[in-house]
Amino acid sequence: MKKVIGIAILFVAVSSMQSMAESTAASVDVTKDGWWLTPYKATKEWTIGVSYTDVSISYIAALQKAVQNKAKEMGVKIIEVDAKNDTNVELSNVEDLLQHKIDLLLFEGASLKASGASIEAANKANVPVVHFNILAEGGQYVTFVGSNQIDSGIIMGKQIVKLYKELGKQTLNGIYMRGIAGYITDEVRNQGVKDTLKEAGIADKINWTEQHADFSRAKAQSVAESILNKSPDYDFVIANGDDMILGALGAVKSAGLLGKVRLYCSVDGLPEVLDGIKAGEIVSTVFQNPEGQGAGGIMAATMYLDGRKDLPKQILIPFVLTDKSNLSDIMSIANRVYKQ
């Protein structure tokens, strides 16, 4: 057996399985909002391998916490690995997990296409795969628990259409903070934004300055500062992740442009961004639920191992546009999942 290096193993003690069946696998309605909060205990101490894309990203870190908390509640053992957004590392990690004789692989792919090698490795070993947060291509899988990532881009695109109509200008100048080049969520969010503008007939009315900031707050601030130093003449900023909109906010403040350059929309729903919306510094974000995706992913995996074979191919957790109108509801969820 290969030696596993840098893999965190969470051992969860299981006690009196017969007495703690709050819900059975068959009784959980996965179409109901908040189904992942249903108390549930595994029928045995399954071993589930969990592969994350990059836990240095705030959203993925919250996703991991949700997985760990639900695993502890259910009485399953998880072995966690971090691909660090490298598909070669990802494949090596998955191969190591398979040597540990895991019962199932809970998988968040780092690449739309290249991650298929990891899925196929699990298939070859007859280990079932459940995708969560990100649905990569290739191989066979049981179900996907997560959000349709293109929807977040569509929501951001609609926000830009709204701003274009409100300002009444012939053209708008926008800064678009992109994530990691080639990263699935970055690609599809960009597609959603651009397709929405095209459908609205204003694709040629937005003058973009786009740069990848790798979902990093520090890099986003540096990139935005460089852009604004060259020209302060921008109407708005959007970002494919909340950490980047926070970095851009720092740059806009440093340049004395707060109020002129609108921090208009991003994706995740980090508490700091919600605080920024409350303060009037950021207009909106698109909330995605790490608790729904993380707890839901590990719960779906466990229910499958417990005998639930009728799970739908996709169990979607919807995105929610968040601004001052619904801020309090989203803040209560975000504070719970990010400040554990």
pLDDT score, position 287: 98
In which residue ranges of the chain is CATH 3.40.50.2300 found? 8-147+290-316, 149-287
Average pLDDT over residues 72-86: 98
Mean pLDDT, rounded, of the chain:
93
Lowest mean pLDDT among 18-32, 109-123, 148-162, 166-180: 18-32
* Fold (CATH) for 149-287: Rossmann fold (3.40.50)
pLDDT in tens, 181-237: 988 899 999 999 999 999 999 999 999 999 999 999 999 999 999 999 999 999 999
pLDDT in tens, 37-59: 999 999 999 999 999 999 999 99
pTM: 0.87
Secondary structure of the chain in HEC code, one letter for each residue: CCCCCCCEEECCCCCCHHHCCCCCHHHCCCCCCCHHHCCCCCCCCCEEEEEECCCCCHHHHHHHHHHHHHHHHHCCEEEEEECCCCHHHHHHHHHHHHHCCCCEEEECCCCCCCCHHHHHHHHHCCCCEEEECCCCCCCCCCEEEECCHHHHHHHHHHHHHHHHHHHCCCCEEEEEEECCCCCHHHHHHHHHHHHHHHHCCCHHHEEEEEEECCCCHHHHHHHHHHHHHHCCCCCEEEECCHHHHHHHHHHHHHCCCECCEEEEECEECCHHHHHHHHCCCECCEEECCHHHHHHHHHHHHHHHHCCCCCCCCEEECCCEEECCCCHHHHHHHHHHHHCC
- pLDDT of 75 higher than 70: yes
- pLDDT of 2 higher than 70: no
The CATH number of 8-147+290-316 is 3.40.50.2300
